[in-house]
Amino acid sequence: MSVTTRTLDCTPDELFAVLADPWVYPTWVVGASRMRGADNAYPAPGAKLHHSIGVWPFVLDDETIVEVWAPPHRMVLTAKTRPAGEERVILEVKPRGAGCVVRMKEYPVSGPVRLIPKPIADALLHIRNLETLRRLEWVARGRAGR
């Protein structure tokens, strides 16, 4: 399991305001290239984000499902990245001073991605998720007018 922790210069509420908006998902998720739609119930558990991954012209339509929505502390997603498989993504948020600390855990749950040796997969996910959390912070700060 890849674990990436970062201190962000935004509050947990500001962060969860971004997480609650499906239309900014490709802005902060590395690899997501566009949004195609979201269930009306998003971000309630069971709701889906309909997005695409990849770089044009190699773009695949896929979806991400909300498993847990517990603002301002926790969100759990199952991200489908077919044909590679599915990954579980866990975001845990704790306030710290005027900002917050986010711990992002990610691990494969199905498909060929489970065959990648764990140290290699964890290292690649960690690098990707450092950038993902950096982008998430920028979007939260921008929405908050900072």
| Residue 77 domain boundaries | 2-20+64-143
- Which band of pLDDT confidence, cut at 50, 70 and 90, is reported for residue 146? confident
Residue 27 counted as domain residue? no
Residue 122 counted as domain residue? yes
- Which band of pLDDT confidence, cut at 50, 70 and 90, is reported for residue 118? very high
CA 109 to chain centre: 15
Residue 44 counted as domain residue? no
Residue 35 counted as domain residue? no
CA 55 to chain centre: 18
Residue 99 counted as domain residue? yes
- Which band of pLDDT confidence, cut at 50, 70 and 90, is reported for residue 61? very high
- Which band of pLDDT confidence, cut at 50, 70 and 90, is reported for residue 16? very high
Q: How many domains does the chain have?
A: 1
CA angle centred on 53, ends 10 and 12, rounded to 5°: 15
User: pTM (2 decimals)?
Assistant: 0.94
- One-letter amino acid at 108 equals P
Q: What confidence score (pLDDT) does residue 46 get?
A: 98
The 3-state secondary structure of 124-143 reads HHHHHHHHHHHHHHHHHHHH
- One-letter amino acid at 127 equals I
DSSP state of 43: T
Q: Which residues contact 117 (CB under 8 A, 6 or more apart)?
A: none
CB 144 within 8 A of CB 13: no
Residue 114 counted as domain residue? yes
CATH number where 134 lies: 3.30.530.20
Q: What confidence score (pLDDT) does residue 67 get?
A: 98
